[in-house]
């Protein structure tokens, strides 16, 4: 291998740690990768390069070829001249010439010009094509895991769902899954096609076959009202830590929400349970009403304060219910 040449370029590497894979994106060109030559052709103006699994990212070198002049050969007798000897002979024959501002040779006499042209015509270049290998490229490395340990957060890199190493989180799928898990933990059974009235006082829950989470029924009601529905929707992409924080928040509120509804619905043996249920329903009704108020700008702060206080009261009731 020839002496390495400097390379300021950077290769993007995605290290999939749990699979032990390094995926490298190679731009157009010829490469030496794990001691094998890989050629990447032009793939379109928007091409992001060719992705390849590499055993040793430090083994990657770009390959280039250039033509090197080694000397001159006499076409008549086969003799040769070194580059230095050729240049010296040419300089001696060019003594009687000058160059104008455009680089053209101007001769002082025809004999000198004829002698040079006759000599120059006898010689041809001796060249050699040389292969050169770059020094190892700098690496822009990203570490990801294909198995996130959370089936609601998926890595998109090897699934065709992402061009970059991002993770995806479908809130609607996650909330639906966590809701089903919570119902199961409470001993509640899914019953297909049951109306909300059919769940009154029973440990069953249901949903319309053709609808989303807004039609989930349990405890004699639709369990997601207009205020909660936005929290059941959304598609997110980003780092695992960012999506995991969204997942943890969703898990907390969905489990708390269903547990509160369960406690309110089935704890009828104590008057306090009935009272708390009524208070919770009335507070939520007030909150829905206040949220519809169209107030003047100067009253907006007061409205926000009222909403905050009502939410605090609902939280207090929920906490009381959950602690029973």
Q: pLDDT for 195-212, tens place per residue?
A: 989 999 999 999 887 768
Q: What is the pLDDT of residue 270?
A: 45
Range scoring the smallest mean pLDDT among 58-62, 74-78, 168-172, 244-248: 58-62
Q: Using alpha carbons, list the distances in angstroms from residue 265 to 192, 228, 276, 280.
A: 21, 19, 11, 12
Residue 1's pLDDT band (boundaries 50, 70, 90)? low
Percentage of the chain exceeding pLDDT 70: 85
Q: Which range among 96-110, 159-173, 252-266 has the greatest average pLDDT?
A: 252-266
Length of the chain counted residue by residue = 324
**112 touches 96 (CB < 8 A):** yes
**CA pair distance 187, 203, nearest whole angstrom:** 7
Q: What is the pLDDT of residue 250?
A: 95
Percentage of the chain exceeding pLDDT 90: 35
247 or 302: which leads in pLDDT: 247
**CA pair distance 188, 261, nearest whole angstrom:** 13
Report, as an integer, the average pLDDT of 128-148: 87
Report, as an integer, the average pLDDT of 287-310: 76
Q: Using alpha carbons, list the distances in angstroms from residue 149 to 124, 167, 246.
A: 69, 12, 15
Q: What is the pLDDT of residue 179?
A: 95
Dihedral, CA of residue 234, residue 238, residue 241 and residue 244, to nearest 10: 20
Q: What is the pLDDT of residue 103?
A: 82
Non-local (6+) Cβ contacts of 302 within 8 A are 295
Question: What confidence tens digit (pLDDT) does each residue in 40-59 have?
Answer: 887 665 566 788 888 888 88
**204 touches 188 (CB < 8 A):** yes
Query: Is the predicted pLDDT of residue 244 greater than 80, yes or no?
Result: yes
Give Cα 231 to chain centroid, integer Å.
Answer: 24
Give Cα 261 to chain centroid, integer Å.
Answer: 39
Structure tokens at 295: 């107030």
Listed by start position, the domains of the chain span 1-76+122-144
3-state secondary structure 102-148: CCCEEECCHHHHHHHHHHHHCEEEEEEEEEEEECCCEEEEEEECCCC
Range scoring the smallest mean pLDDT among 173-187, 253-267, 271-285: 271-285
CB atoms within 10 A of CB 261: 20
End-to-end CA distance of the chain: 77
67 or 44: which leads in pLDDT: 67
Q: What is the pLDDT of residue 23?
A: 86
Give Cα 176 to chain centroid, integer Å.
Answer: 25
Residue 256's pLDDT band (boundaries 50, 70, 90)? very high
Q: What is the pLDDT of residue 21?
A: 83
Greatest alpha-carbon pair distance for the chain in Å reads 127
Query: Is the predicted pLDDT of residue 81 greater than 90, yes or no?
Result: yes
Q: Which range among 4-18, 138-152, 217-231 has the greatest average pLDDT?
A: 217-231
**CA pair distance 221, 265, nearest whole angstrom:** 10
Report, as an integer, the average pLDDT of 185-203: 92
The model's pTM: 0.56
Pairing, β 80-81 against β 36-40? unpaired
Tokens 């909300």 label which residue?
Answer: 196
- Return the axis-axis angle of helices 300-323 and 240-266, rounded to nearest 10°: 70
Mean pLDDT of the chain: 84
Q: What is the pLDDT of residue 48?
A: 66
Give Cα 17 to chain centroid, integer Å.
Answer: 16
């Amino acid at each position: 291998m020839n002496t390495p040449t400097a390379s300021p370029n950077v290769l993007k590497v995605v290290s999939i740690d749990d699979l032990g894979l390094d995926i490298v994106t190679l731009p157009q060109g010829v490469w030496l990768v794990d001691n094998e030559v890989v050629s990447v052709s032009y793939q379109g103006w928007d091409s992001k390069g060719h992705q390849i699994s590499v055993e040793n990212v430090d083994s990657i070198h770009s390959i280039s070829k250039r033509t090197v002049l080694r000397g001159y050969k006499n076409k008549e007798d086969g003799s040769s001249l070194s580059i230095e000897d050729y240049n010296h002979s040419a300089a001696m024959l060019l003594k009687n010439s000058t160059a104008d501002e455009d680089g053209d040779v101007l001769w002082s006499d025809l004999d000198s010009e004829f002698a040079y042209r006759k000599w120059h015509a006898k010689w041809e270049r001796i060249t050699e094509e040389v292969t050169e290998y770059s020094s190892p490229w700098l690496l822009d490395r990203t570490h990801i895991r294909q198995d996130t340990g959370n089936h609601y957060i998926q890595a998109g890199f090897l699934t065709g769902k992402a061009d970059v190493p991002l993770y995806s989180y479908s809130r609607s799928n996650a909330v639906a899954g966590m809701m089903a898990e919570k119902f199961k933990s409470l001993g509640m059974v899914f019953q297909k096609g049951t109306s909300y009235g059919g769940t009154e006082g029973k440990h069953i829950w249901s949903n319309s076959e053709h609808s989303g989470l807004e039609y989930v029924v349990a405890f004699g009601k639709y369990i997601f009202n207009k205020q909660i529905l936005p929290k059941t929707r959304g598609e997110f992409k980003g780092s695992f830590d960012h999506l995991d924080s969204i997942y943890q928040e969703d898990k907390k509120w969905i489990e708390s929400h269903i547990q509160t509804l369960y406690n309110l619905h089935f704890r009828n043996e104590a008057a306090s349970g009935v009272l708390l249920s009524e208070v919770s329903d009335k507070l939520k009704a007030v909150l829905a009403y206040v949220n519809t108020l169209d107030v003047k700008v100067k009253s907006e702060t007061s409205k926000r304060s009222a909403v905050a206080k009502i939410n605090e009261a609902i939280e207090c009731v929920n906490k009381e219910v959950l602690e029973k």
